[in-house]
Structure 1
């Protein structure tokens, strides 16, 4: 898995191959990519990202114990060990603690563990909201918010989910990115479970999500394909 002689970049590319594989419904192949990439990772950021990708991959395979193992390993990485790709270059190649926490929440949602998903998504929100305004990622904040709402629904807490989604519905159409819309589709589906579907608040929230998604900037662009949730 070393088409280039640069281990940090090769590790990052391996993580991306894993993401593409599980988005395309090939989680077993994704696991092969992420394991190969983990053998190349040296920095704390690289390891954090790959443990997070591995957790998500195991979640797609329905293996909660392996999810827990990878997320615990992610918490133990040494972020002081850096590399020139994930840390010095950063940007899209970086992987912040709030992104890791958001990814953990998404992993727990995939295995339907609402309690742990609430904890992880709440942590992601606390981390991103603690940043200065100039460093805050609206994308991460809103996607973690949608994940938190879904986790609350899994726990049967409709009222909290309605309150949680309030800030999401304030977003302008051009801010309604694919990852957020995909998460909201999950929320919309959860609102149809027998325990919720006959409740007026669930019906109203479902219609609101549909209108919000319909009026997004992406829905107004013909021929533009949707993308899966980002890690």
Structure 2
């Protein structure tokens, strides 16, 4: 009877599993979506990630094999992380926060540290865009304490720490974090930021764009202009299919803002040219926030009645008005961010 029961149990276990090829296909779909994210409207990316999440869930219900369950939970966490980013880009800050927390739970449950770190980093930048820089700093610093992170993960988190310090007015700490983010690293990789990459990565041009914004918050026009220019040069050196519209527009906006800080309105107008070319459905939160910040700067009394600043302000108002974050999300968090 013992032998028969063991055989029947083995049959039942085999029946409660799925093909490893199915899991490989789901993983390939996740990697493809992460790497295509930069060229997709956020709404389209959200729908694709949600469809993939549902498919992963269906297969999780069909297997009782522990290693398959583990792999599918990691995939579920990665789709939740992409959903969080897409929700943030659409201006749905509360949903983005909930989805990032879900990703963090999957990372913690599976002991997949890179996912935990990515999710905490996402929670950090949601926090400082919501006017909570102390919370942002705590999340990012906690993630930096995790072991097993590659250089790209460290780079992303250092850039987030720098931004949080800038919002807090701690310029010395922000500069130190920028310097750390730009260090070469230890030539260490991990299974998310490097192996999957795409939206989970953090390219050199994205780092430069981020540090440009941080410099602007600190009021350092010279560093902001240098970093924004470097981002555009790095981006221009890539194949067209690999160039991110979001990074180009974000760096262009930062370059324009830096020139405004030097009272170069004509130069700012020239720098803004790339952002007008961004289709409405691709105007993500980061671009909209940067544009709105420039609009507020141009509303200063010294520009009242001047033709070019007035024209730029009107263009920015129209640009942001038809963007998904203003049409779909709440404008309050975007407007609450300090200029």
Is the structural similarity TM-score above 0.5?
Answer: yes
2:122 match: 16
1: CA distance, partners of 2:291 / 2:275: 10
2:313 match: 206
Q: 1:73 aligns with which of 180, 186, 192?
A: 180
Q: How big is the shift at 1:174?
A: 2.1
Q: Cα–Cα, structure 1 residues 17 and 215, in superposed 2: closer, same or farther, change >3 Å?
A: closer
1:123 match: 230
Confirm whether residue 29 of structure 1 aligns to residue 146 of structure 2: no
Name the stretch that deviates more: 207-216 or 184-193: 207-216
2:35 match: none
**Contact in 1 for aligned 2:152/2:201 (Cα 8 Å):** yes
Confirm whether residue 110 of structure 1 aligns to residue 221 of structure 2: no
- Give the secondary-structure state (helix, strand or coil) at the position aligned to 1:167: helix
**Contact in 2 for aligned 1:128/1:136 (Cα 8 Å):** yes
Q: Cα–Cα, structure 1 residues 216 and 22, in superposed 2: closer, same or farther, change >3 Å?
A: closer
Structure whose residues are more often helix by fraction = 2
2:3 match: none
2: CA distance, partners of 1:176 / 1:136: 15
Q: Cα–Cα, structure 1 residues 53 and 197, in superposed 2: closer, same or farther, change >3 Å?
A: same
Q: How big is the shift at 1:20?
A: 2.2
What is the Cα-based RMSD across aligned positions, in Å?
2.1
Q: How many residues align?
A: 227
Confirm whether residue 153 of structure 1 aligns to residue 153 of structure 2: no
**Contact in 2 for aligned 1:48/1:77 (Cα 8 Å):** no
Q: Cα–Cα, structure 1 residues 212 and 9, in superposed 2: closer, same or farther, change >3 Å?
A: closer
2: CA distance, partners of 1:156 / 1:67: 25
* Map 1:1-231 → 2, pairs under 5 A: 3-4=108-109, 5-40=111-146, 42-78=149-185, 80-216=187-323, 221=327, 223-225=328-330
2: CA distance, partners of 1:86 / 1:213: 31
1: CA distance, partners of 2:268 / 2:194: 35
**Contact in 2 for aligned 1:154/1:190 (Cα 8 Å):** no
Pair member with larger Rg: 2
Q: How big is the shift at 1:79?
A: 6.6
Q: How big is the shift at 1:62?
A: 0.9
Q: How big is the shift at 1:125?
A: 0.9
Q: Cα–Cα, structure 1 residues 79 and 183, in superposed 2: closer, same or farther, change >3 Å?
A: farther
Q: How big is the shift at 1:199?
A: 2.1
TM-score by length of 1: 0.90
Q: Cα–Cα, structure 1 residues 215 and 24, in superposed 2: closer, same or farther, change >3 Å?
A: closer
**Contact in 2 for aligned 1:58/1:66 (Cα 8 Å):** yes
1: CA distance, partners of 2:200 / 2:324: 26
